[in-house]
Amino acid sequence: MSSETAPEAELSTALSAATVSNKQRKRDTRKAEKAAKREQQKPAAEDPSPEKEQKPSAEDDPSAGNYGDVLPVPGEILPAAVPYGPWAEIGHLDRASVGRSVLVRGTAQAAYCGSKTKKVAFLELRQGMSTVQCVLAGSAQMALFALSLPKESVVFVEGAVALLDKPLRYTTVQEVEIQVRKLYCVSRAKPKLPISVEDAGRSAEEFAMAEANGVQLPRVGQDTRLNHPAINLRTPAVQAIFRIKHQIEHKFREYLSSRDFIGIHTPKLISGSSEGGAAVFKLEYKNGKTACLAQSPQLHKQMAICGGLRRVFEVGHIFRAEDSNTHRHLCEFVGMDAEMEIMRHYFEVCDIVDGFFVELFRHLNENCRTALEAVNRQYPFEPLKYLENTLRLSYEEGIQMLKEAGTEVEPMGDLNTEAERKLGQLVREKYDTDFFILYRYPLAARPFYTMPCYENPAYSNSFDVFLRGEEIISGAQRIHEPELLAKRVAEHGIDKSSIKSYLESFSYGTPPHGGFGIGLERVVKLFCGLDDIRMASLFPRDPQRLSP
């Protein structure tokens, strides 16, 4: 079938001309005459009833029962005219499907007609990230109905799968099409949407090509996208981002479960700060008490280790009341946390991190190619470089690399964003990797529960993990000695009464342990080379955004 297009106005005129034959005109004339006679025969006092839209009869339109808007019927979604049968997934249609009758529900992405024939219309149907061409031939009325559908309307299609003479370029299903026998609309979209899926899905390259030809295409800004997530989510790249995000979370659960970690759920309403500091959301609790939204599951996952669970993990929401309006911070994000007993050295925790990410990167590259290609088409990025044995540098080695490159950093302090990015660049140039571990941070730069180095208390048994020059993980050995822990709490000015149960847990006998926390959205952002972390959050919450 040809996929050449013509303007919809031209199609409408052509189809009208093709369908209104002399015989049809005579029928219309006879109907009008009969209607006029009926009006004359009505009593004078009788008010004329409102005109009702006349649907084509079976004689006028033999296909009238095969298309239209689905009227709501109690307990039913599909009209009786739609046959029962298995639903087909658009993404599964291929050469093996040729000749099969299929029933598909999807979104009307576009409707147009071919210029070579007057009685054929084309409907692009979308289902998630998959699209297929549907052909409506033989019924001018059904074709006009398809053209009347607003973009993004939800429709049912029943028809036969047919092989194309030439592969299509603009649909994901390229070798076959659906020859439509029935078409029903179950939900009409507004004729004019706040943003166009087509506009929201354009790449920088498309804009550049259009401008080179003197055409200005509409641009959809970040705030506009975030204000209308139900439409923005329909673009291929955004669909792909959240499928990749799901795979990362799934792989985290799978990898840790296979290594005897137990999934737990910790409270998000707590009585005090879990990290120390003032970056907490406070709220009024019952009986006049004040509560906080948890900054991390840190204290409770340590208590689970105290309770003998040995290895635990959690995937859950984390809240940070930081006034950070940056491309990498959110006030609410998903944390992937783990805690485990250690036997000899806190590098045992690093080993888990190392193994997980190497397996994750391999999994994404091998099993998420379609999604990664969809992201890359709109937001081009370089494939991630990583080593099978992850590079580990000490904090002091990292500082030395920065100094040699002329970057000054605060001695014995945490790395700022600029220093992190520069170090990532230097590591990539020297070691050919975008992923590495930096360990043995100064104790002053770590939370109160971090274990100091035994040989030098100015440093700590801790580490951070970097991806494309940005930190995605903080981890460390934790303090399991009650006296040292109480001392560190006092040094950080934390009210002991607010974490009383946590502190008491360590007086019952606790094994040495350590763990880490991963920001899921940051991993997505950096693996896919995205500019802003909000692109990796379905409904982002930052210092300025609390809806939708």
Token duo for residue 41: 């025969």
SS3 43: coil
> No. of H helices and E strands in the chain?
16, 17
Pick left, alpha or beta for residue 68 (phi over 0 → left; psi -120 to 50 → alpha; otherwise beta): left
Round to whole Å and give the CA distance between 448 and 476.
Answer: 11
Q: How many CB atoms lie within 10 A of CB 528?
A: 22
pLDDT tens, residue order, the chain (548 aa): 444 444 444 434 433 433 334 444 445 445 544 544 444 444 443 333 334 434 444 457 778 888 998 876 666 777 676 777 789 999 999 999 999 999 999 999 999 987 666 678 999 999 999 999 999 998 889 999 999 999 999 999 999 999 999 999 999 999 999 999 999 999 999 999 999 999 999 999 999 999 999 999 999 999 999 999 999 999 999 999 999 999 999 999 999 999 999 999 999 998 876 666 668 899 999 988 888 999 999 999 999 999 999 999 999 999 999 888 888 899 999 999 999 999 999 999 999 999 999 999 999 999 999 999 999 999 999 999 999 999 999 999 999 999 999 998 888 888 999 999 999 999 999 999 999 999 999 999 999 999 999 999 999 999 999 999 999 999 999 999 999 999 999 999 888 888 899 999 999 999 999 999 999 999 999 999 999 999 999 999 999 999 99
- Residue 275 has a pLDDT of 65
Q: What are phi and psi of 300, to 5 degrees?
A: -75, -35
Q: For 493-505, how does the pLDDT look when each residue is reduced to its tens digit (9 = 90+)?
A: 888 888 899 999 9
Residue bearing tokens 């673009």: 235
Q: Catalogue the active-site residues.
A: 320, 322, 328-329, 471, 474, 522
- Residue 77 has a pLDDT of 72
**In sequence order, what are the beta bridge partners of 314?**
337
Which residues, including other chains, have CB under 8 Å from residue 219's CB and lie 6 or more apart?
199, 207
- In b/e form, how buried is each residue of 84-123, taking b as 16+ CB within 10 angstroms? eeeebebeebeeebeeeebbbbbbbbbbbbbeeebbbbbb
- Residue 72 has a pLDDT of 64
Token duo for residue 281: 């959301």
- The DSSP code sequence of 128-173 is TTEEEEEEEES-HHHHHHHHHSPTT-EEEEEEEEEE-SS--SSSS-
Torsion of the alpha carbons at 271, 275, 279 and 280, rounded to the nearest 10: -20
